[in-house]
């Protein structure tokens, strides 16, 4: 593969010591500067956002029109519909035929699209200037039985829902590898409040290695991924993004990276553990807390987080009773943890964030606001200086304030969001313009 490519002039592919391939800067990049952009190789809009976004270009607008056949896919105009047909046809007839029983996972939907794209693609795509999709790591040798079972279920679903439309699917071995590659190298596309919009593969973006103090952030313009510097980058520096949520302490991050991406992180943050003390803040009590007590509370917190994550998968089925249940879990677990953990402790913040999500879902705006107010300060301490998690929290909070007619606080929070977004999304991003309009309207 060419280590330098047109459109990637400022960067090159290289062998990163200890990490395999990586991306290296060949020139200086200033804070907020675009390092490179990468169109999606394949992508799919998530089912929950149908009708709110165009299936083809992901534009969010009110006046989309729907596919006459299946009445499930929505488009800006006939051009978007035409352009999407080669992919939509994989699902259009099937959704009509299966009705309620049409339920492939998003990964299966994405893999079907990748297979389709591979059939009609003969040369390198604009998404693969430095890394080909076929070069993705699959880490098949490191798969445990649980991951293997999930993979097998996905392959079965692919056959079930797509074999009519994709003639002679690849064999078991090839599909196992492709699903493993997509699981390790796929991206989720999110909006400015970090709501999930869809899934995609961006081969050149996948070339970047991970760091817990990343020097770039990936954002999305429709289905285009954009990579911007969130620290100054000098010629010869490796370009790192973060694969995970950086809220949690070192041990948790390492566990997560090993489990999902099969490597042991050795970045500066994991070596110095400089933020762990603040992240694991313990209440100042009259008698000091025993290490065992702290350890067992951490164990409890991690279990609650895991249970909560599992429960949320069923949200579409059990709706409200589950939401009240979840809110109760949030409140009870916070109460229990508050005996030992300070309010700024990341496990407390995790439960507050979940509770805030439940409040938003149930349209309890005051509840959501008061959780947001507790979360935002500690967030800006625990996360890196430019973080989408912090920006989206300021944004949610700002919009809540305005909705509750707290104008001054609203504008203040939105301005904080804009300051981060101008660096992460770029000054010319539609999201930035939208938030600035919201601010202007308050004047």
**Residues in contact with 183: Cβ distance below 8 Å, sequence separation at least 6, in sequence order:** 107, 147, 151
181's tokens? 């590659």
Residue 227: phi, psi to the nearest 5?
A: -115, 115
Residue 313: phi, psi to the nearest 5?
A: -65, -25
Look at residue 3 in the predicted model and tell me its pLDDT: 65
3-state secondary structure of 23: strand
- For 285-296, what is each residue's pLDDT tens digit? 888 888 899 999
Q: CA-CA distance, 58 to 44, in Å (whole number)?
A: 9
Q: Is the dihedral of CA 75, 81, 86, 89 positive or negative?
A: positive
Report which DSSP code applies to 224: E
- For 234-257, what is each residue's pLDDT tens digit? 999 999 999 999 999 999 999 999
**Residues in contact with 209: Cβ distance below 8 Å, sequence separation at least 6, in sequence order:** 16, 19, 20, 22, 23, 238, 240
Look at residue 234 in the predicted model and tell me its pLDDT: 98
- Give the confidence band of 20 by pLDDT, cuts at 50, 70, 90: confident
Average pLDDT value for the chain: 93
Look at residue 167 in the predicted model and tell me its pLDDT: 85
Q: CA-CA distance, 215 to 217, in Å (whole number)?
A: 7
3-state secondary structure of 89: helix
Look at residue 4 in the predicted model and tell me its pLDDT: 67
- Give the confidence band of 314 by pLDDT, cuts at 50, 70, 90: low
Residues of the chain with pLDDT > 90, as a percent, come to: 83
Nearest to 308 by CA among 367, 351, 245, 356: 351
Residue 151 φ/ψ region, left for φ over 0, alpha for ψ in the -120 to 50 degree band, beta for the rest = alpha
pLDDT at position 1 over 50: no
Contacts 24+ apart (CB under 8 A), 172-179: 175/111, 176/140, 176/151, 177/138, 177/140, 178/111, 178/114, 178/115, 178/138, 179/107, 179/111, 179/151, 179/154, 179/155
Q: Is the dihedral of CA 139, 146, 319, 332 positive or negative?
A: negative
- Tell me which residue has tokens 């488009």: 75
Edge-first strand order for the sheet with 42-45 is: 42-45, 196-201, 187-190
- For 388-401, what is each residue's pLDDT tens digit? 999 999 999 999 99
| CB count in 10 Å sphere of residue 129 | 22
- For 153-211, what is each residue's pLDDT tens digit? 999 999 999 999 888 899 999 999 999 999 999 999 999 999 999 999 999 999 999 99
| CB count in 10 Å sphere of residue 68 | 8
């Amino acid at each position: 593969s060419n280590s330098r490519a047109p459109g990637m002039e400022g960067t090159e592919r290289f062998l990163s010591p200890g990490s395999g391939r990586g991306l290296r800067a060949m020139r200086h990049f200033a804070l907020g500067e675009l390092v490179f952009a990468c169109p999606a190789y394949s992508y799919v809009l998530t089912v929950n956002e149908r009708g709110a976004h165009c299936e083809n270009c992901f534009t969010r607008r009110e006046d989309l029109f729907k596919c006459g056949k299946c009445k499930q896919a929505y488009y800006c105009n006939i051009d978007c519909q035409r352009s999407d047909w080669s992919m939509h046809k994989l699902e259009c007839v099937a959704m009509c035929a299966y009705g309620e029983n049409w339920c492939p996972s998003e990964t299966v939907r994405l893999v079907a699209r990748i297979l389709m794209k591979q059939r009609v693609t003969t040369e390198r795509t604009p998404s693969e200037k430095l890394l080909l999709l076929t070069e993705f790591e699959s880490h098949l040798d490191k798969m445990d039985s649980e991951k293997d079972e999930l993979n097998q279920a996905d392959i079965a679903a692919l056959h079930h829902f797509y074999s009519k439309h994709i003639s002679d699917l690849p064999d078991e071995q090839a599909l196992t590898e492709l699903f493993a590659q997509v699981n390790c190298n796929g991206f989720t596309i999110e909006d400015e409040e970090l709501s999930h919009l869809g899934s995609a593969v961006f081969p050149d973006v996948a070339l970047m290695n991970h760091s817990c103090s990343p020097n770039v952030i990936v954002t999305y313009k429709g289905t285009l991924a954009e990579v911007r510097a969130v620290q100054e980058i000098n010629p010869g520096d490796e370009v790192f993004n973060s694969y995970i949520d950086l809220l949690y302490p070192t041990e948790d991050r390492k566990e997560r990276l090993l489990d999902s991406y099969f490597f042991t992180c050795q970045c500066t943050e994991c070596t110095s553990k400089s933020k762990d003390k603040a992240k694991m803040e313990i209440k100042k009590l009259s008698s000091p807390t025993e290490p065992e007590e702290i350890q067992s509370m951490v164990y409890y917190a991690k279990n609650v987080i895991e249970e909560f994550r599992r429960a949320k998968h069923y949200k579409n089925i059990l709706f409200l009773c589950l939401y009240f249940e979840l809110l109760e879990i949030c409140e009870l677990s916070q109460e229990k943890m508050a005996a030992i953990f300070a309010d700024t402790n990341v496990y407390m913040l995790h439960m507050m964030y979940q509770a805030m999500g439940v409040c938003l879902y149930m349209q309890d705006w005051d509840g959501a606001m008061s959780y947001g107010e507790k979360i935002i300060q500690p967030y800006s301490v625990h996360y890196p200086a430019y973080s989408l998690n912090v920006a989206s929290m300021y944004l949610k909070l700002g919009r809540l304030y305005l909705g509750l007619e707290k104008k001054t606080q609203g504008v203040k929070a939105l301005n904080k969001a804009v300051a981060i977004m101008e660096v992460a999304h770029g000054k010319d991003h539609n999201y930035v313009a939208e938030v600035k309009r919201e601010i202007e309207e308050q004047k």
